[in-house]
Amino acid sequence: MRSGHDRPESAVIFTGIRKEAYTVGNERSFDQDPRFGLSVLTEIGSRALSPALNDSGTAIDIIGGLTRVLMAWAGQDHGMAAEQILYERVYVPPLRDEDLLDDAFRPLIRDGVALLEIQLRLQKALAALASITNGDLRAAASRLALTAHEAASSAMVLPEDSERLRVEYRAAWQPAERMPNKSNAA
């Protein structure tokens, strides 16, 4: 059995030289894990939708906040220039847009599945995120919007709510169908 004093030399070097690259603690922090921040906001929105609270307004505010955070994320350059790499043997996988959207919105889709006001706000948020990019974020937002639409369409009690959601979904995600064709206009 080893004591703490007879560590291998490589461990001493690693802890002495590289420890500034790590944050170690008993709890996650927003600086360590950006997805954690999204999860915390989403949990607030989910709790607001619980039957005990039934507070759609707070959930809608949370959707707006999540959208602003993700829009700021989408507007940043996430590639690292070669001169920024301090430790070339340390690799951290990049955050995936799909994972960020899932963390932010999937629990709200589930918990607000039968609430028209939540589903409309989610569709608008996802369409806004998709409108600022053509890359992976746009594709992820489109897939999640379809998932939300399909889940909500089968869960809504009132047929007029399902129809309103369908109209809003099509307006946001199928713009070619809402624009008149020049050859048909006259």
Sequence spans of domains, the chain: 27-77+92-174
Q: Please give the average per-residue pLDDT across 160-180, as a whole number.
A: 80
Q: Tell me how many degrees the CA angle 172-161-66 measures, rounded to the nearest 5.
A: 50
pLDDT value, residue 16: 52
Q: Which residue has the higher pLDDT, 49 or 178?
A: 49
Contact 122, 150 (CB under 8 A): no
C-alpha dist (Å) from residue 186 to 33, 34, 115, 176, 178: 55, 52, 40, 18, 16
pTM for the full predicted model: 0.76
Nearest to 127 by CA among 171, 161, 66, 167: 171
Kindly report, residue by residue over 31-73, the tens digit of the pLDDT: 778 899 999 999 999 999 999 999 999 999 999 999 999 999 8
Q: Please give the average per-residue pLDDT across 93-109, as a whole number.
A: 94
Q: Which residue has the higher pLDDT, 111 or 186?
A: 111
> Residues near 96 by Cβ (< 8 Å), separated by ≥ 6?
136
Provide the 10 A C-beta neighbour count for residue 93. 5
